[in-house]
Structure 1
């Protein structure tokens, strides 16, 4: 019989260290994310976890100071970090998370197959003791410490249908020609949501979306998967925005064989003209217009036109800030023309949209700011989750069908959150 023994404490330390390293390597993305979220809550830090469209990397950004509120947005003045902008700034706060800690997790990347564990890489590492606290954390995010939520009453079907019918009547009277009423759906929870698993599931189910999970004491806990870019701004190189409109279910036909109705083509043209008019307001005439073309987002198809400006050529370094102020809120979340549609929503909606239909995303990371319209999102509260959804209303809309559409949109995230 062979005996195994240590010749001293040094060998025991080496073995224990090796065991710890193996355990660390075997951690899943889900576990890494849950550790970060628990750490951020315990330290009153702000955290943003996100996955850019068609990327295999999960990005984690943490601000140990808890983030800061901004009175007025000037994109060029912000340090590198993550931005959350509400639907209406007069009601809610613009908040910026500084990039004090940055890490990434590769999901099925070049060096990581589906059969191998997910690895955490520090891109901007914190002090050693902070790094150890995050990696060795065994605690869970405590939903009991969250607020109950200000929007705790679901929108009634009758109220939403009445609002849509009012909008249709105003469209017929030519007050505006499109408006986007929203609703909320509040679902009770047992405070046992696995946030890390929900995030990973959303990444797998919606590869073309901007999947995001943010938390701070100032903003609360938000989760979403947005299909729409608001702006993409590469410092000294280019500025991009898009017009995304028209929706139909993906059929067995190829994308090249997709046909669109006149109504959908006109709707997309309205949004494109709105962007061009924004360029005209600032006397910008040099831009590339690419599209419209059909794109796929999950099981849906959309019409998309991309607008690109070469900022170095036009010598307009502050273009990102200027266009944000002109574009938001977009016709996809408000309506057209903007002012009368916004007035209607302010008067008719009984809930506060908070960060739903605002915009969010990383800013000045590797010289790139990429902000997305905050669609398909929810706020997770103590013992409940509030889902937000809206529907674009035109003269030909049917109120009952618009209600059904918002119900389906809420189900997109509720199925992921509750693991259905």
Structure 2
């Protein structure tokens, strides 16, 4: 029996890593589908995720189903997984306790569904729970909610919203706004969730790929390219500005060119982060970028900001910055308050957890939260995709509609195996 050490916000948590593996080797997708079936039938909360540029899939399970958080204070949370909606109210902040932890190592050949993979327990469940996971039946989509009254956003609706946003910008009500839309696709409930997750891992090597389920939050799958915060206890704090979107071409990333509109959009996000630092009188930080990064078939502009927390002597920096940053300029607009008011009046759908944030907290001393982009919610006989586009004075409404269609298609191809 060997031990791995994970650090929570207040005390050291020792996780026992069992040398015992599940007796029957399964494919990675089969492991994931068994965990989903187990979580559903046992009212547990489940988070499966793969951090950017890593080869390990993490599986985290809260046997009690997760708990609601009234007010987020990152430093007070125990090790687990956090889901935060775009706006609190109808949708709640939910924390999954890390009661069961496991990991699966993916190699370049593991996208072959016949490959046998072993699940390694990081925090071993009881033999009774382990047996229930092994014997779990398939996930039952019919038990999920059925959104009969939900429909896709019409192109005419979105284009009008963009045009109204441009007019508001010209009146100097705000400088940028990010209207979103939904694309509602009917499904016959035969989505292979485990395989869709594996597909997303290979499609989005630089993204935070996630699959979450609980009775409190529903069933979500996504691949976010955007870090909200990365907080390594006693070492560093990171955040990023990500904006501008174009389709990946045959050119190398180094040869990518950007329009003035896209450069300006990215600069707004960077300035917003710098202004947040100014509010808390934090002046010592590293600014890296902007540079072009890849996310699936799309390219974005990214600037990374890093603070060395030991020298800054600011132990609550993670919580303070979360309150200042969310919702970011990349998903809401700038100034935040007036852009948020526009979104609240014009959007006809509930964003729910789209453009909120999620991720592991206090695992290996690290809290890594991502803006919930490139995501969908899966319900009974439907999959709802969410997408938005940053609007500035130079935006063209039809082009912004095309950008949201492109974002939805990249993920829908993964979900439906196209």
Alignment of 1:240-389 (within 5 A): 240-389=238-387
**Number of corresponding residues:** 399
> How many angstroms apart in 2 are the aligned matches of 1:23 and 1:321?
38
> How many angstroms apart in 1 are the aligned matches of 2:24 and 2:111?
12
Deviations 1:22-42 (A, max 9, x none): 994541000000000000001
Contact in 1 for aligned 2:261/2:392 (Cα 8 Å): no
- Is the partner of 2:276 in helix, strand or coil? helix
Deviations 1:61-110 (A, max 9, x none): 00000000011100000000000000001331000000000001111179
Alignment of 1:180-195 (within 5 A): 180-195=178-193
> How many angstroms apart in 1 are the aligned matches of 2:110 and 2:342?
52
Q: Which residue of the partner structure matches residue 126 of structure 2? A: 127
Q: Which residue of the partner structure matches residue 140 of structure 1? A: 138
Contact in 2 for aligned 1:181/1:334 (Cα 8 Å): yes
Contact in 1 for aligned 2:81/2:358 (Cα 8 Å): yes
Contact in 2 for aligned 1:58/1:106 (Cα 8 Å): yes
- Is the partner of 1:240 in helix, strand or coil? strand
Q: Which residue of the partner structure matches residue 209 of structure 1? A: 207
In structure 2, relative to structure 1, the CA distance for the partners of 1:403 and 1:258 (3 Å cut) is closer
Q: Which residue of the partner structure matches residue 410 of structure 1? A: 408
> How many angstroms apart in 2 are the aligned matches of 1:234 and 1:51?
18
Q: Which residue of the partner structure matches residue 55 of structure 1? A: 54
TM-score, scaled to structure 1: 0.91
- Deviation for aligned residue 1:400: 1.9
Deviations 1:193-218 (A, max 9, x none): 11111111111111111110100011
Q: Which residue of the partner structure matches residue 36 of structure 2? A: 37
Contact in 1 for aligned 2:21/2:118 (Cα 8 Å): no
Residue 218 (structure 2) aligned to one of 217, 220, 229 = 220
Structure of higher CA gyration radius = 1
Q: Which residue of the partner structure matches residue 3 of structure 2? A: none
In structure 2, relative to structure 1, the CA distance for the partners of 1:151 and 1:394 (3 Å cut) is farther
In the alignment, structure 1 segments of 5+ residues that lack a partner are: 1-20
> How many angstroms apart in 2 are the aligned matches of 1:299 and 1:113?
21
In the alignment, structure 2 segments of 5+ residues that lack a partner are: 1-19
Larger displacement relative to structure 2 (22-31 or 331-340): 22-31
> How many angstroms apart in 2 are the aligned matches of 1:136 and 1:40?
12
Alignment of 1:59-138 (within 5 A): 59-108=58-107, 116-137=115-136
Contact in 1 for aligned 2:29/2:113 (Cα 8 Å): no
RMSD: 2.1
Contact in 1 for aligned 2:329/2:336 (Cα 8 Å): yes
Q: Which residue of the partner structure matches residue 154 of structure 1? A: 152
- Is the partner of 2:81 in helix, strand or coil? strand
Contact in 2 for aligned 1:44/1:65 (Cα 8 Å): yes
Deviations 1:201-254 (A, max 9, x none): 111111111110100011111111111110000011100001112233334443
> How many angstroms apart in 2 are the aligned matches of 1:22 and 1:212?
23
In structure 2, relative to structure 1, the CA distance for the partners of 1:103 and 1:171 (3 Å cut) is same
TM-score, scaled to structure 2: 0.91
In structure 2, relative to structure 1, the CA distance for the partners of 1:325 and 1:102 (3 Å cut) is same
> How many angstroms apart in 2 are the aligned matches of 1:147 and 1:115?
32
Contact in 2 for aligned 1:226/1:376 (Cα 8 Å): yes
> How many angstroms apart in 2 are the aligned matches of 1:297 and 1:214?
20
Contact in 2 for aligned 1:112/1:118 (Cα 8 Å): no
> How many angstroms apart in 1 are the aligned matches of 2:148 and 2:388?
19
In structure 2, relative to structure 1, the CA distance for the partners of 1:223 and 1:79 (3 Å cut) is same
